[in-house]
Structures are given as structure tokens and as C-alpha cells.
């Protein structure tokens, strides 16, 4: 189990946050379309964020029992920041869209009682409902931001502990891999949530923290870009230790291909006798084969 399980789920979180941005953009042209986008985005948010929290809970349980991720995937500890930070930004963007629709276009998200005939009273009810949705979204975003802050501290501590006590060259070219891209997106979306909270709460503390995080994201991006280009040119950007179980690190084909295909197919016996396979993994592989048989 790894934090990479979050990748399929976070697409829903990103889509819902994008819905909040898109609804604000199309609101001036088609308020009713913007309302539909907001409703769908809330549904998609409800799919992505709860599932992400389930996976994060399981990931925390796995980390407590089995320790931190392997060195090659150590930066994946930042991945839980993604759904938390993006979910925080998304729910606040949707809340702002609901309030803007109510105040600027008179479109509400609740059913006004039929007995209310006065237009002024009906508008007042719509505005109160919008304020309630906006306030709830802001509080929810603040809670998710706090969870992301917790993971930021934990992940940063894990990375710095490994760098200080185990490998002082961890941030050098030898240790760099494609997994270091986890230093960009998760922290970046958490930064957008931080700046949004700074604006909505008019908080000096969040403004300062948002500025610091923005600078960190820029520096992380420059660092990752530089070493990615270097490792791509060097041909060592990808690390796939799971291929060690196969002879010549060449996995078998799933479907039959013409004889001219470059990849080879192997029997179970060939894989078990692979020189790249450690004794522990060879025993585990044999047990799994016996269970399947």
C-alpha cells in the first residue's frame, strides 16, 4: 500500500475545484449554467474527498505498522496534501460561487416556501441560504487545511530526518527520481487554499504563510525541473524495483504477440530462479503461486 492510491481519487477533487473556478467564469454569461456546474461540482467533491480521506486513513495505519515509505518513494509522504489542499480550495471556491450567484444574479440553492409572495422577503431568504452555504464551505475548507498542515509537518519531518541521519546526499542527483515531483503539486494546491483563506478571512498570518509557501513551491519547481532534465538526458529518471523479479528486468507479455516482438515471456519457474530476486521475495512469490494453484 502506498500514497499512490490517491492518484485515481484526486482527479475528482481537482475536477470539483475546477468547477468552482469555471462557474465563476461563466456566471456573467449564463448564471443558470453556472448553478448547474456548482451543483455537479459539489457532487464530484463528495465523491473524491471522502474516498481520499479513507485512503489517507489506511495509509496512516500502514505507516504506523510498517514504517515510512521506502527511500525511492519517500517524497510520496507529501501526496496526502493533494486531496486535502485541493479539497479545501475547491469547497471554498464553490461556496464563493454560491454566494456570488445569490447576491449578483438572484439565483438561490434552496426552495423558498410557496407562501412567501413578497419579492424582498424571497430575496432575503435566498441571500441567507447563500451565506449559510458559504460559511459552511469556509469552515470545511479550514478543517481540511488543518489536516493538510498536519501532513505537511509529518512529511517534511520524515524527509529531513532521512537527510540528516541517513543520507546527506539525498537531495542530490543520485537519489533524485520521478517521485520527487510529489514536492510540487500537493504543496502547490495547499498553497492555493492558504492564499484563499488569507483573502476570505483577511488574515495576516495566512497571508505571510501563503507567501512563504508560494516561494517554496517556486523553488521546488526549479529544483525538480533542473534534475528532471538532467536525469532524462542521463537516462536514469525512472526507478522500477518491482522489475527485479523478472530475468533481465523484462516482464512477460500479457497477450500473445508476433514472434518479432522484443519482449520475452517467462514461466513461473524462470521467474523464481531469477538472479535479481532476493530470497525473501522468492519465497513470497512461490507462496502466492501455490495459493493461486
Print pLDDT tens along the chain (293 aa). 777 788 888 899 999 999 999 998 998 898 889 999 999 999 999 999 999 999 999 888 888 888 888 887 888 889 999 999 999 999 999 999 999 998 888 887 766 665 555 667 777 878 888 889 999 999 999 999 999 999 999 999 999 988 888 888 888 888 888 888 889 999 999 999 999 999 999 999 999 999 999 999 999 999 999 999 988 887 777 767 677 777 766 777 666 555 444 545 545 555 555 555 455 444 444 444 444 44
User: What per-residue confidence (pLDDT) applies to 293?
Assistant: 46
Based on DSSP, count helices (H) and strands (E) in the chain, helices before strands: 8, 0
CB 191 within 8 A of CB 217: yes
User: What per-residue confidence (pLDDT) applies to 289?
Assistant: 43
**81-105 vs 119-165: helix crossing angle, rounded to 10:** 160
pLDDT tens for 205-248 read 999 999 999 999 999 999 999 999 988 887 777 767 677 777 76
Report the alpha-carbon distance of residue 218 to residue 247 in Å, rounded: 42
CB 138 within 8 A of CB 200: yes
**Cell of residue 186, nine digits:** 500537493
CB 204 within 8 A of CB 266: no
User: What per-residue confidence (pLDDT) applies to 142?
Assistant: 94
Report the alpha-carbon distance of residue 170 to residue 165 in Å, rounded: 11
Report the alpha-carbon distance of residue 142 to residue 44 in Å, rounded: 19
User: What per-residue confidence (pLDDT) applies to 291?
Assistant: 43
* Predicted structure pTM score: 0.77
Measured CA distances, 51 to 81, 146, 182 (Å): 14, 18, 20
Report the alpha-carbon distance of residue 23 to residue 32 in Å, rounded: 10
Amino acid at each position: 500500500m502506498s500514497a499512490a492510491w490517491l492518484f485515481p481519487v484526486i482527479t475528482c477533487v481537482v475536477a470539483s475545484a475546477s468547477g468552482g473556478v469555471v462557474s465563476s467564469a461563466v456566471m456573467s454569461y449564463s448564471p443558470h449554467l453556472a448553478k448547474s456546474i456548482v451543483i455537479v461540482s459539489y457532487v464530484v467533491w463528495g465523491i473524491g474527498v471522502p474516498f481520499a480521506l479513507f485512503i489517507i486513513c489506511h495509509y496512516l495505519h500502514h505507516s504506523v505498522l510498517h514504517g515510512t515509505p521506502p527511500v525511492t518513494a519517500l517524497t510520496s509522504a507529501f501526496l496526502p496534501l493533494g486531496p486535502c489542499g485541493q479539497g479545501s480550495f475547491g469547497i471554498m471556491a464553490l461556496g464563493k460561487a454560491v454566494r456570488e450567484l445569490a447576491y449578483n444574479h438572484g439565483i438561490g440553492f434552496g426552495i423558498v416556501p410557496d407562501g412567501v409572495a413578497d419579492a424582498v422577503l424571497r430575496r432575503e431568504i435566498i441571500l441567507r441560504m447563500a451565506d449559510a452555504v458559504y460559511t459552511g464551505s469556509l469552515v470545511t475548507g479550514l478543517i481540511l487545511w488543518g489536516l493538510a498542515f498536519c501532513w505537511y509537518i509529518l512529511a517534511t519531518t520524515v524527509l529531513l530526518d532521512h537527510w540528516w541521519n541517513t543520507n546527506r546526499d539525498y537531495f542530490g542527483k543520485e537519489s533524485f527520481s520521478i517521485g520527487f515531483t510529489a514536492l510540487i503539486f500537493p504543496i502547490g494546491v495547499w498553497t492555493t487554499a492558504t492564499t484563499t483563506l488569507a483573502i476570505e478571512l483577511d488574515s495576516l498570518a495566512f497571508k505571510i504563510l501563503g507567501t512563504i509557501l508560494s516561494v517554496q513551491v517556486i523553488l521546488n519547481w526549479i529544483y525538480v525541473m533542473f534534475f528532471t532534465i538532467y536525469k532524462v538526458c542521463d537516462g536514469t529518471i525512472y526507478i522500477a524495483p518491482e522489475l527485479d523479479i523478472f530475468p533481465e528486468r523484462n516482464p512477460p507479455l500479457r497477450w500473445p504477440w508476433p514472434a518479432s516482438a522484443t519482449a520475452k515471456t517467462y514461466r513461473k519457474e524462470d521467474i523464481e530462479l531469477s538472479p535479481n530476486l532476493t530470497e525473501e521475495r522468492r519465497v513470497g512469490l512461490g507462496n502466492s503461486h501455490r495459493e493461486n494453484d
